[in-house]
A and B are shown apart, each in its own frame.
Chain A
Amino acid sequence: MSEEITTDSQSWITPFNVIAGIIILVGLIITVIRFTKGLGAVTHLSNDNPWGIWIGFDLLCGVALAAGGYTCSASVYLFGMKRYHSAVRPALLTGFLGYFFVVIALILDLGRPWRLPYPFIIGWGTTSLLFEVGLCVALYLTVLFIEFSPAPLEWLGFKKTRNIVVKLTLLLTILGVVLSTLHQSSLGALFLIAPSKLHPLWYSPYLPVFFFISSIIAGLSMVILEGSLSHKVFHHKMDETHLSECDPLTLGFGKAASLVLAGYFTIKVIGIAAGNHWDLLSTPYGLWFLVEMLGFVALPCFLYAVGVRDKNLKLIRGTSALTVCGIILNRLNVSVIAFNWQLPMSERYIPSWMEIAVSVFMVTLIIVFYKFIVTRMPVLYEHPDFKNSH
């Protein structure tokens, strides 16, 4: 990540390009195997473990970590934190890319991906939470696309269209929050159907609420983390506004994340109390649960608070990375680690290297596209023709 952007005169062969190239090549080869030999040839999925990390990481984590889009635009346009408006575009971009590649990953995972529109044309399986997830993700991807479109439109010089889209900002933001609330929570609700398979410490009737609240945490933390990373890499691409807004934004979002984490911790505890599962805390799974709760919820909550009090930006940025890890851990716990916990070890699911490679492939594609776009379009800076026209 620390590598400098190549200018046209420089060679294409940079460490970043080489590594990304290899990953993409491997990913493409696995994709070909998937579509010629089937899922069985590349994954360790089984009849007992029908969902692996392509769902647990690519879908669940992908959507949660792409929550920066709605969290950020809601804070700026609805909650009046206008002074952070320079963070909205990069957040919308990562949001859009995140969702886009969630769909790409699904194409590999689904048996017959070209039938993806079937639920909305033929089936209408409205009793399924997956239906809700699918519908909301499809709509939200469109909303994100429109929300982000002013950047490419400015780049291409389509002034009129751009101005029309900008006028829709408020409407799109509200729509984005509604759709995000629905599908972020529904992703948790997917697992409500399987109380007999998911460990009781993670299973809760409040799963949708947990997923929704933690998506806000993920969104806030991702905006901080992304900001600090692109600050290092794309520093020269940022304009005055962007550079000057970055530090107060880190403080503001850090404070918000600390508060939401505190609330999240509380409702998780309420969840255990409601299920009366205290005795399970002393089992191995209970200890693992405590690791998640103390190490990845309580600790970041505390560290964010300290960072904000001491105005320690470094600490806040580090904490955002810790929080993001915590979100990933939580999603994997629900979908893979604590799922099917009653099966003997020999029947449990452990991802194959090819499954991991495809997940890395997806992340790489997101980074490559992000890089491609921010080095060309007005994302980290304001287009000179459109200054102060937000």
Chain B
Amino acid sequence: MSISRRKFLAWLGAAGIGSMVSRDAGASSNKHFRGYPKSSGVLYDMTRCVGCRECEAACNKVNSLPAPDKPFNDLTVLNTKRRTGTDAYTVVNKYSGTRHDGPVFRKIQCNHCLEPACASVCFVRALKKTKSGPVTYDESVCVGCRYCMVACPFDIPAYEYNEPLTPRVLKCTMCAPRIEKGQLPGCVEACPKEALTFGHRDDLIKIARKRIRKYPERYKDHIYGEHEMGGTSWLYLSPVPFKEVGMREDLGETPAPSLTSGALSIVPMVVGLWPVLLAGVYGITKRKEKIAMEEQQTAVAEATEKADHEAHLKLEAAMGKAKKDKETAIEKAIKKALEDVAGAEPDKEDS
């Protein structure tokens, strides 16, 4: 038997149920995680940033990164668009064509998401969201699959492509080791304009709100990072729409893990249901085969019987015919004999 339409539809149905189950599961797991209480973050106010690159220099120093090609006081670097890399965990880009008079500067680094995409996809849990705020990386277990880089919606993690045997995934750590010692993150400490404020995330949101309320003409009424991708520990205030400084506004508020929780919740369904269904299908197939076999046997038996019967009839008919033939032959012979006798008598009489 090739695959019948009904079987095929049943498969499709099963697949459909699977995806429905997944959606429900996704929805129910959507309880709102508001981040660990009292976790730290940084508020970055673009209206205060002057693009001096002091934060870049400090980051380079505290993380002992390789010296850059051009020194940090060379501001021509700002003319090209850059992203984070293995030699720079934070970079500042300049945006000139905005609605603002004068350029707007924007610092990029890991946003330390409340529910990080990178950590949720790491299959060895090398990346972790700590209770105190930073998203940290454990080099000693990383396999180097780079799924974290695929997953990060902000394109932050960088990879040591030129390390043949010990490549690491590198990104801003929010200076977790310094925070532990009670110090400020390198960039925050170095900023001469107080564009960066370190503190508890809840407090930072309050500060940001206050600034927007106080100077509504100076700020867009939006704290980037308050809700984006479920919220991030790094928060941004901007004088222009965030889109104009290269920040995506289409990311939505769904935290990354709930994008995949549906697919993950199917696993037990498949493991639990598939064997039962398949065994059922196998049983049906077996039964069908058995019935087919029995039918075949009966058919054969009937056919033989019928053949026997027919043969019998034929034989009878043949015998009947033979008998008749014989009878006619005898009759004929007698008749002939009689005729012969009758014919012979006049001869006798004649002679």
B83 close to A193 (CB less than 8 A): no
A192 close to B162 (CB less than 8 A): no
With contacts A127-B260, A193-B260 known, is A252 near B143, CB below 8 A? no
Interface CB pairs A-B, < 8 A, 28: A38-B164, A40-B161, A47-B149, A50-B150, A51-B146, A79-B3, A80-B285, A80-B288, A80-B289, A111-B167, A112-B143, A122-B141, A123-B124, A125-B121, A126-B264, A128-B120, A128-B121, A128-B123, A129-B121, A132-B264, A177-B278, A181-B270, A182-B267, A192-B262, A193-B117, A193-B259, A194-B117, A194-B153
Min CB distance B299 to A, Å, is 19
A40 close to B8 (CB less than 8 A): no
Q: Which of A159-218 contact B (CB under 8 A)?
A: 170, 174, 177-178, 181-182, 185-186, 189-190, 192-197, 205-206, 208-209, 212-213
A263 close to B19 (CB less than 8 A): no
Q: What is the bound-complex CA distance between A251 and B1, given in angstroms?
A: 11
Contacts of B207 in A (CB 8 A): none
Contacts of B257 in A (CB 8 A): 127
B264 close to A127 (CB less than 8 A): yes
Q: Is A11 an interface residue (CB 8 A)?
A: no
Scan A33-49; emit 1 where CB is below 8 A from any B CB, else 0.
01111111101011110
Q: Which of A256-289 contact B (CB under 8 A)?
A: 256, 259-260, 263, 267
With contacts A47-B85, A50-B150, A193-B150 known, is A125 near B117, CB below 8 A? no
Partner of B275, one of A124, A178, A190: A178
Interface residues of B (CB under 8 A from A): 1-3, 5, 7-8, 12, 15, 18-19, 22-23, 83-85, 117, 120-126, 141-147, 149-151, 153, 155, 157-168, 248, 250-252, 256-257, 259-260, 262-264, 266-267, 270-271, 274-275, 278-279, 281-282, 285-286, 288-289
A196 close to B250 (CB less than 8 A): yes
Q: Is A236 an interface residue (CB 8 A)?
A: no
B142 close to A209 (CB less than 8 A): no
With contacts A51-B150, A112-B166, A127-B264 known, is A260 near B8, CB below 8 A? yes
Q: What is the bound-complex CA distance between A40 and B86, given in angstroms?
A: 13
The closest CB in chain B to the CB of A45 belongs to B161
With contacts A38-B162, A132-B264, A193-B120 known, is A112 near B147, CB below 8 A? no
Q: Which of A113-121, A363-371, A376-384 contacts B (4 or more CB under 8 A)?
A: A113-121
A79 close to B163 (CB less than 8 A): no
- Measured as residues with beta carbon below 8 angstroms from the partner, the interface class of chain A is 35 or more
Contacts of B271 in A (CB 8 A): 178, 182
> Contacts A129-B121, A174-B275 given; 9 further ones with Cβ under 8 A?
A35-B165, A39-B167, A45-B159, A80-B285, A119-B143, A125-B125, A190-B150, A208-B22, A256-B8
Q: What is the bound-complex CA distance between A196 and B267, given in angstroms?
A: 25
Interface pairs A-B: 9 shortest CB-CB: A111-B144, A123-B124, A40-B161, A80-B285, A189-B263, A50-B146, A50-B149, A131-B123, A125-B123
Contacts of B282 in A (CB 8 A): 77-78, 170, 174
With contacts A36-B164, A111-B143 known, is A192 near B153, CB below 8 A? no
A111 close to B270 (CB less than 8 A): no
Partner of A263, one of B8, B142, B162, B278: B8
Contacts of B117 in A (CB 8 A): 193-194
Q: Is A81 an interface residue (CB 8 A)?
A: yes
Partner of B19, one of A80, A131, A205, A253: A205
B270 close to A182 (CB less than 8 A): yes
Contacts of B285 in A (CB 8 A): 78-80
Q: Is A28 an interface residue (CB 8 A)?
A: no
B263 close to A125 (CB less than 8 A): no
Contacts of B3 in A (CB 8 A): 75, 79, 252, 255-256, 259
A252 close to B2 (CB less than 8 A): yes
The closest CB in chain B to the CB of A118 belongs to B124
Q: Which of A90-131 contact B (CB under 8 A)?
A: 110-113, 115-116, 118-119, 122-131
B263 close to A185 (CB less than 8 A): yes
Q: Is A134 an interface residue (CB 8 A)?
A: yes
Q: What is the bound-complex CA distance between A252 and B2, given in angstroms?
A: 5
Min CB distance B259 to A, Å, is 5
- Give the one of A77, A110, A127, A209 with max B CB within 10 A: A127
A205 close to B288 (CB less than 8 A): no
A185 close to B260 (CB less than 8 A): no
Contacts of A209 in B (CB 8 A): 15, 18-19
Q: What is the bound-complex CA distance between A43 and B143, given in angstroms?
A: 18
Contacts of B260 in A (CB 8 A): 127, 129, 189, 192-193
Partner of A127, one of B120, B166, B279: B120
Q: What is the bound-complex CA distance between A189 and B257, given in angstroms?
A: 12
B281 close to A78 (CB less than 8 A): yes
Contacts of A34 in B (CB 8 A): 164
Q: What is the bound-complex CA distance between A185 and B18, given in angstroms?
A: 11
Q: What is the bound-complex CA distance between A275 and B266, given in angstroms?
A: 21
Contacts of B162 in A (CB 8 A): 37-41
